[in-house]
Structure 1
Amino acid sequence: MHSSHPMYFASKLTEVASDDPIDWMEQPSDGLAIQGLLRPAFIEEHSEIQKHISTNQSRSSDKHQVEKVVGDKVEDVSIINGHRNGLGSSEDNSTSEESEKNEISMNGSLFYKLQMSKIQLITAHGHQTDVELEDFKQAQPDAIAHSAAKIISRLKAGGEKTVQALKSLCWRCKGIPVEEAAIISVDSLGFNLRVCCGTQIQTLRFTYNAR
């Protein structure tokens, strides 16, 4: 208990007590726990929200109508938290900024923002490590994130030949003789293997020489 998270310990007790067979090689990999405050998006954040809306609409095959034509005029019907994302008259802009932030309309879409206060990396064994918020915010999406599942599927399709290659890799690079090996995740920097050595199961990280 002193070296294991209570929730992890409780989940393992549940698994052992159940009658369902446990495949330890298929246990989940590391995850993130994010703590923060969920609040409505402010008016000054609308431009960023609109950028994400435009990106999602361009990727979607079934695009929703964003503008409607009324006679000779084009009226923007994209409303975020009760505010139109456009330039209004000086009289309209004279409204108090605080009241604009608090005003929420039933029309249009309602957007929220997660104000993150704490991030933790939780390993498959329940160990927790704090992640710097600034590092997380500056991180970029992995180049092959959307292709990782297909890559793993193709490697698993190799069957015993792939398993033997992974075992050989563990011995040559880590000096660890393993009985079973399965790739559980892959990214542009390397990949993770779940390996079995006798009664011990662990996750090994292999990095590429070049990205």
Structure 2
Amino acid sequence: MWQRILNMERPNANNYQDRIVINAHKKAESEKNTVEIIQKEEGHYQVKSSDGKSYYNITCNQMCGSTCRTLFCRVCKFCVHRYRCECKEYAVRSTLCKHVHLVCMYEERVGTNYVLDDDITALEKESEINISHQREITQFIEEKIIDSVDSNADEEMIRNAEIEDLGNFLKCLNKGEYSNIMEKIKLLRKEVEVTKNNSKKRKMEKQAYYPSKKKPI
């Protein structure tokens, strides 16, 4: 199940998500020399909006594993876990906006390429995001196993309670009522046994043979 989800989320050259990301990359490429980018501190940037009236805050997060391709820009080589932007395109559409591309290009231009550094770190040790994902998968599997065990135990408890209730009901009957119900139970038991035997031993019926009336050529 998880593998199918990842295959759907991972963009490729013919994927709609990939086209959206590449369009955002092209917009950032055309505006990288004109848009103002302010580095407040390490890992925190401000990118001026297109109308020039406001700034969007960009935060750099830890890089996901080097094999992560979830909402991945194949040109800039970073995934959606790398940056976080406050713009509507990133928050509402859940895609890589041009602002995060601008920050990535700015880091490459000034020589502080944290993406490359994080790639090297990810190769040396497993990232916290990968560990968290693995923990979630393990917890999901454990919960499913516990749910299946609990459901089987509940069915067994209900069955035992029904058998006990039926026994108490039979004990409360008089001799005539008890005899009538037991006769019906015996008939039902025979029907169940016959049904089981028929299902186990199925006889193959002989098919009727109809010879062809066509004359040989």
TM range, smaller chain: under 0.3
Q: Which has the larger radius of gyration?
A: 2
* TM-score calculated relative to the size of structure 1: 0.19
RCO comparison, higher one (Cα < 8 Å, 6+)? 1
**Higher share in helix:** 2
TM-score, normalized by length of structure 2?
0.19
Pick the structure with more strand per residue: 1
